[in-house]
Amino acid sequence: MSRIVDTGRNTSETQIKIRLNIDGKGQYNIDTGVNFFNHMLESFSKHSRMDLDIIAKGDIEIDDHHTVEDVGILLGEVFNEAIGDKRGIKRMADAIVPMDESVATVAIDISGRSYCNMDIPFKNEKIGDLTSDNIIHFFESFANAAKINIYASAKGFNDHHKAEAIFKAFAKSLKEASKIEHDEIPSTKGVL
């Protein structure tokens, strides 16, 4: 079973192409026009071992909101398509990742229902060229489009470290939840 999807999304605000291989090796080629966001997505790819190509052109002369949001939406849609009917997946997983003085916890349920609960108190409006609030909005957009539950929290002093720990914990928990363990739908309903 191939869990690879390659697609695009074009709006008046963004033009995005994404290719995701859930069962990859952590190889990436990412250019969103927002450098810190690139760094976070590269970290996600490396630590999830999912291959990820993203080329995005957005209206970043206005701000980074539309680019981050639309990448989150399309990446969520691509993940949802790649995971298929969810037969055999582990479904639920969590990870705790430290980064220097910071620590992040992420729990995932590939449930077929979307919900996102984020507790990440950023101190600064921006981290590099990425608006801090848009990190949370990325995960909300991903959860809604992927139809998964994400619970995430982080604490620490340095905003860069908190953000990177969240993306790494998200990567590790999503990879673990995506693992094929058996040949059944992991739900008492018989469908996810």
Is position 49 within any domain? yes
Which CATH number belongs to the domain containing residue 172 in this structure? 3.30.230.40
Give Cα 179 distance to the centre of its chain. 16
Is position 65 within any domain? yes
Domain containing residue 149:
4-85+92-178
Residues 6+ apart with CB under 8 A from 157: 101, 102
Query: How many domains would you assign to the chain?
Result: 1
For the sheet with 4-10, list strands across it. Answer: 4-10, 14-21, 51-58, 28-31
For the entire predicted model, the pTM comes to 0.98
Is position 28 within any domain? yes
Is position 188 within any domain? no
pLDDT digits (tens, 9 = 90+) for 85-140: 999 999 999 999 999 999 999 999 999 999 999 999 999 999 999 999 999 999 99
pLDDT digits (tens, 9 = 90+) for 132-188: 999 999 999 999 999 999 999 999 999 999 999 999 999 999 999 999 999 999 999
